[in-house]
Structure formats: structure tokens, C-alpha cells
Amino acid sequence: MDQKIIFLTILGMAVVTYLPRLLPTWLLTSKSLPPLVTEWLKFVPVAVLAAMLLPSLVIQDEQIYLQPDNLYLLAAIPVALVAWKARSFFGAVAAGMLLVAGLRYLM
């Protein structure tokens, strides 16, 4: 493949990737968002994290697996409570690691 085509492809990919991130920043820097929008945006990281984690907790061998021996789902429930109460990412990760290790030992 020609080097010019490769360069233009990489440049096009960079534009497509970064333009949607930069445009809102450029357009909204001088403006203040309404309080409702600001409150709503606070939930976006939690929603994205939940959407990324849920499939790994409930899908096994390309099927939904909600059985009592689902180790990760069993550990996720108390870890969610720890994260909610402690509001600590590292505390939740530590609790999850301890719970998974303990459950693997017991099962």
C-alpha cells in the first residue's frame, strides 16, 4: 500500500476520533451548563462503567449465566455495597479481590 494512503488513513482516523471530543469543549468553554445537565453528566461515568462490567459478570460461554455458582456475580453484589458505602474506588477493588480470592478458596 502506498505511504500516502496510509498517512491519510491515519490522519482521517485521528480527525474522526478527536473531533467529537474537541468540538463540545471548544463550543462550551465560554458557556455555563444548566444545573440539570450538570447533575445528569455526573452519572455518565458510572453508567459507562456498569455497561462495561455487566456483560463480564453475567455472560459465560456466550450465554446469560445467573446461577448460584457464578463467582464474579456473587462477589459483585457485596462489592457494590462496599463501593456505595465507602465511595472509594480502591476500597471496592480491594474488597472485590478479597471476595473473589475467598470464594475461589471456598468453592
pLDDT tens track for 17-32: 999 989 988 888 888 8
Give the per-residue pLDDT at 4.
Answer: 94
User: What single letter denotes the amino acid at residue 50?
Assistant: A
Based on the fold, state whether residues 18 and 39 are members of the same structural domain: no
Number of domains in the chain: 2
Torsion of Cα atoms, 63 then 67 then 69 then 74, to 10°: 100
Give the per-residue pLDDT at 5.
Answer: 95
Based on the fold, state whether residues 11 and 61 are members of the same structural domain: no
Residues of the chain with pLDDT under 70: none
Based on the fold, state whether residues 71 and 99 are members of the same structural domain: yes
Give the per-residue pLDDT at 18.
Answer: 93
Closest CA to 49 of 92, 14, 78, 11: 92
Based on the fold, state whether residues 41 and 64 are members of the same structural domain: yes
Based on the fold, state whether residues 58 and 84 are members of the same structural domain: yes
Based on the fold, state whether residues 67 and 94 are members of the same structural domain: yes
Based on the fold, state whether residues 68 and 86 are members of the same structural domain: yes
Tally: H helices and E strands in the chain: 5, 2
Give the per-residue pLDDT at 65.
Answer: 87
Based on the fold, state whether residues 59 and 78 are members of the same structural domain: yes
Task: Tell me which residue range forms the domain holding 68.
Answer: 35-106
Based on the fold, state whether residues 43 and 86 are members of the same structural domain: yes
Give the per-residue pLDDT at 88.
Answer: 86
